Amino acid sequence: MENVPLPEKLRPKKLTEFVGQVHLVGKNGVISKLLSNKVTNNYFPSLIFWGPPGSGKTTLARIIASELKREFYEFSAVNTSSKDVQKIISQTKPLFTSPVVFIDEIHRFNKAQQDKLLPHVEKGQIILIGATTENPSFEVIGPLLSRCRVVTLNQLSEKDLGNILKRGLKELKVKINSKAKKFLIESSNGDARVLLNVLEITSNLAGVKPDHLEGVPGLHLTINHIEQALQRRQLTFDKQGEEFYNVISAFIKSMRASNVDSALYYLARMVEAGQDPLYIARRMVVFASEDIGMAQPTALVVANEVFRACETIGYPECQINLMHAVVYLATAKKSRLAYDAYFRAVEDVKKFGNLPVPLNIRNAPTNLMKELGYGKGYEAYSKESLLPDKLKNKKYYKP
Ligand code: ADP
């Protein structure tokens, strides 16, 4: 039990322990009502939970499964394929024992993956609970949305967080002064997981005492302790998940918009979060070809060299190489002409398959091939189209 993180240890198991979200779990709350209806008509709908991180989506889904006495399967769309989900579904038995299948970050499933869930939801083979931090009307496909009930979870209020904090303090047997409490609650941004994680790190950091003081009761947490913990936390938690994708995407978009300041800012966010420098550099190598391309071909050379520098140098110094590349790429002229041209060609390849290569530019290593006209009339500097007949004179690259 020792290694279980505090938020997990304190995850409510019953509706009565669930803090806040009164519009859902209060006496007249949507979820409370659905659960009590269930007793009379044995029906519980599939749901989409829309709410910020750490507001209780996963927790509530688990509580629902336990109240319904159903099996509970939990997936995250970030690291599961729809096949894994299908596998579980194929093992399920009759209707009234349909399990609760929870899919976190369901918006990360693409349309085809979401489509695959449809028939199972429709037949009531599973009670789907999808969780998303994004507006489901944009991120969840229409047919699935219309078969589920969308339920909104609010960011937890300061009062709610205060209640959760109280449980954490009790569990860790530590105290906190009122200023530190306010600071901790404000810096958690309505996210109970962050609150409890930071609390746990804080008390670990503050609790590092000389041996002879080990076990002395009455550890009192202060703002100082929390500040230390917040720095530590960034390195530990920001690496994956929602925020990570937001930041990398904002980073690329900033460079694309030639906005040096925001590109540098997002770089700093990633570096401070301990993001692998090779990952950042790799994205810049791609960017150099995709977004700068023929407007400034040396961008690829610079990006590549920065990648190599990161490889040989590593943190912390390679952040200097990274920022060098970021400023170079962000201020460079941009052109996606080469990129777009190539993907127009790809489209034709997909559309027309393997069209025959014109005879005159075919290789003719044997006599038979020569007799068949391979390579006949080939002229090295001819201006005529070398594309297959069907695509003759087609222009992909339009500089
Ligand atoms: P998410 O909305 O990201 O799915 P979770 O339900 O996983 O959030 O919550 C993470 C942790 O935060 C839980 O383990 C629990 O300790 C705490 N928590 C979140 N919401 C609540 C809540 N409403 N009441 C009590 N604890 C909560």
What is the CATH class of 21-152?
A: alpha beta
Question: What is the percent of the chain with per-residue pLDDT over 70, rounded to a whole number?
Answer: 92
pTM > 0.85: no
Segment 12-27 shows an average pLDDT of: 94
pLDDT for residue 300: 97
**Edge-to-edge strand list for the sheet holding 148-152:** 72-76, 100-104, 127-132, 46-50, 148-152
Which band of pLDDT confidence, cut at 50, 70 and 90, is reported for residue 239?
Answer: very low
Over residues 320-330, the pLDDT tens digits come to: 999 999 999 99
Residue ID of nearest Cα to ligand 1 atom 17: 192
* Rounded distance from Cα 57 to ligand 1 centre (Å): 7
Which residues lie closer than 8 Å to 209 by C-beta, 6 or more apart? 216
Whether residue 160 contacts residue 154, with contact meaning beta carbons closer than 8 Å, is answered with: no
Please report, for the chain, the start and end positions of each structural domain, with discontinuous segments joined by +: 21-152, 158-230, 242-331, 346-391
Ranges of H-type helices in the chain:
6-9, 22-25, 30-41, 57-68, 82-90, 111-122, 136-139, 142-147, 158-172, 178-187, 192-206, 223-237, 242-256, 260-272, 277-287, 298-313, 318-331, 337-352, 367-371
Q: Which of 193, 199, 200, 237 to mutate to test the pocket of ligand 1 (most atoms within 8 A of CB)?
A: 193
Which band of pLDDT confidence, cut at 50, 70 and 90, is reported for residue 150?
Answer: very high
Which of 52, 84, 104, 307 is CA-nearest to residue 299? 307
Instruction: Tell me the fold of 158-230.
Output: Helicase, Ruva Protein; domain 3 (1.10.8)
Computed over every residue of the chain, the mean pLDDT equals 87
Over residues 264-283, the pLDDT tens digits come to: 999 999 888 778 899 899 99
Which band of pLDDT confidence, cut at 50, 70 and 90, is reported for residue 55?
Answer: very high
CATH for 242-331, among 2.40.50.140, 1.20.272.10, 3.40.50.300, 3.30.470.20?
A: 1.20.272.10
Over residues 249-261, the pLDDT tens digits come to: 999 999 999 999 9
Please give the radius of gyration of the chain, using alpha carbons only, rounded to the nearest integer: 29
Residues with CB under 6 A from ligand 1: 7-8, 10-12, 18-21, 51, 53-59, 131, 164, 192-193, 196
